[in-house]
Amino acid sequence: MKPYVLVVEDEDSLSTLLQYNFKKEGYEVEIAKDGEEALLKINDRKPDIILLDWMLPKLSGIEVCRRLRLNKNQQKIPVIMLTARGDETDKITGLDHGADDYVLKPFSLPLLFARTRALLRRSSSSIVEEILTSGNIEIDTKALRVKINHNQVHLGPTEFRLLEHFISNPGRVYSREQLLDSVWGRNIFVEARTVDVHIGRLRKILKQNGANDTIRTVRSAGYSFEINNKTV
């Protein structure tokens, strides 16, 4: 299931840019043009994260954020405030009213993606299922166990996180750098070829235990988890 991002931005060119690029990154995206529309959309369907402009028609981003934090069902939704207001007092106001992060316009898209991923990882509303399945592979994300053909298989912690990441995002191609960011984390500095080593270990274990699904190398791009519906 794709993370659902609500972009609340009244500037058409910017909201379209964000929608296009976040969709390319694998997110589901909806747009709200003002604060009132944002609250209606949030009531209809709770987003996994909100990108919220400060200066909005009808209701300001600050007021939207304040109301979210007063609502028990919505108060834990991560919010990134997008604004051109760069004074320290404005940042404090945004954070004090419930924003989880504060990004100044103009901003770097890679930085915004990284901050979004970081908040989703920390968020209690992040859409993580306890049991993930793909073909004859089953992952218990709480107990940290993997079964293939109903038999428990031992994986190292890094291989476990890689497999969990791939099964959660089947068919999508990830570069080594993207895998380092998602699996190892942004604050861990390791060489990109480290990914190849752990992919090799994971492939060997999957093959030895008769897994249907495979990790495919995409030349000059990275790796993809390929779903095979054959039964063993």
Number of domains forming the structure of the chain: 2
CATH number of the domain that residue 12 is part of = 3.40.50.2300
Residue ranges with strand state E in 10-148: 28-32, 49-53, 79-83, 101-104, 131-134, 137-140, 145-148
Judged against a pLDDT cut of 70, whether residue 231 lies above it is answered with: no
Least confident of 9-18, 20-29, 76-85: 76-85
pLDDT tier, 125 (very low <50, low <70, confident <90, very high otherwise): very low
Which of 93, 122, 151 delimits the end of a domain?
Answer: 122
Nearest C-alpha neighbor of 29 from the set 60, 51, 55, 61: 51
Which of 66, 93, 122 delimits the end of a domain?
Answer: 122
Is 49 inside any structural domain? yes
pLDDT digits (tens, 9 = 90+) for 24-45: 988 999 999 999 999 999 998 8
Judged against a pLDDT cut of 80, whether residue 77 lies above it is answered with: yes
Quickly list DSSP for 78-113: -EEEEES---HHHHHHHHHTT-SEEEESS--HHHHH
* Rounded Cα–Cα distance for residues 121 and 182 (Å): 9
Q: Which domain, by its residues, includes 29?
A: 4-122
CB 128 within 8 A of CB 147: no
Per-residue confidence (pLDDT) for residue 230, from 0 to 100: 42
Judged against a pLDDT cut of 70, whether residue 232 lies above it is answered with: no
| Segment 118-127 mean pLDDT | 66
Taking each helix axis as running N to C, give the angle between helix 109-122 and helix 12-24, from 0 to 180 degrees, rounded to the nearest 10.
60
pLDDT digits (tens, 9 = 90+) for 56-72: 999 998 999 989 888 87
Q: What percent of the chain has pLDDT over 70?
A: 92
Least confident of 91-100, 181-190, 209-218: 181-190
